[in-house]
Structure 1
């Protein structure tokens, strides 16, 4: 492990930077590169220094929550208010607010359901079947009779 490199990343500024990189979607390998270390060293730091591990986890959690909220909004639909401004000779003469309903997106709905309720919505359903049968194969006996 690089001696002393971790010290900067344990400061409030360092932890904030780690959290921001994780929130921005960087992988552990990309974060390690930005820290000037290899990925394995970052893994060791995460085990050895809970503050580093927590900063990375909080950053990733924040990004995941933001994306989940955006996906949910897209799947269920939402209302948006647009403001239109009319000008005449460079002077504002009228301002109108228009409320629009944005319908839910079917693609987002499918993605959400396939991941949240795979038991009901996954493309490939697994069906288990078992058959109990009392069928007896007597072909060998019939073949023996035929040969004689």
Structure 2
């Protein structure tokens, strides 16, 4: 069974950070380390040396995904290059600038998460004032109510 001390080396911490940066889940990282997920979670709580590289690695991939989502939401241009095999090897025969239209689903997702008060689907309405209920039996005792109930039954 792997020990904590095997993972606080420079090499071990780099591996953990790299796995997090590659997008592996904590459970997958624990498997790569050869420890149970519950042990891994315990180590993360007890040993800051392990949690720091894990956090750093996740921040990198989270930023990349955020940037990709934003790029998709806004649309972008890219150059498509066509190459053909000639006597001189692969030769560029054509370059075309193409556009990817903004993606409304990405825009909605971004806005609902970044500006939830303005963009979420569920709207909350505050109601003020009093609600008056006319209850003709409010002054009756429990005994009087039971008599009425037995008469109606």
Question: Larger deviation: 61-70 or 94-103?
Answer: 94-103
Cα distance in structure 1, aligned partners of 2:39 and 2:136: 68
Are residues 97 and 8 of structure 1, via their aligned partners in 2, closer, same or farther at CA, if it must alter by over 3 Å?
same
Aligned to 2:52: 54
Q: Any stretches of 5+ residues in structure 1 without a counterpart?
A: 141-148
TM-score under structure 1 length normalisation: 0.76
Equivalences for 1:1-148 in 2 at 5 Å?
Answer: 5-85=3-83, 95-132=93-130, 137=134
Cα distance in structure 1, aligned partners of 2:91 and 2:34: 57
* Residue 57 of structure 1: how far off its partner (Å): 0.5
Give per-residue Cα distances to partners, 1:65-105, cap 9 Å, x unaligned.
11000000000011101123467899878733211221110
Cα distance in structure 2, aligned partners of 1:40 and 1:20: 21
Cα distance in structure 2, aligned partners of 1:100 and 1:41: 50
Aligned residues: 137
Give per-residue Cα distances to partners, 1:3-44, cap 9 Å, x unaligned.
x71122111211111112212222222222221222232223
Superposition CA RMSD, Å: 2.8
Give per-residue Cα distances to partners, 1:42-71, cap 9 Å, x unaligned.
223223322211111011111111100000
* Residue 136 of structure 1: how far off its partner (Å): 7.0
Cα distance in structure 1, aligned partners of 2:134 and 2:39: 65
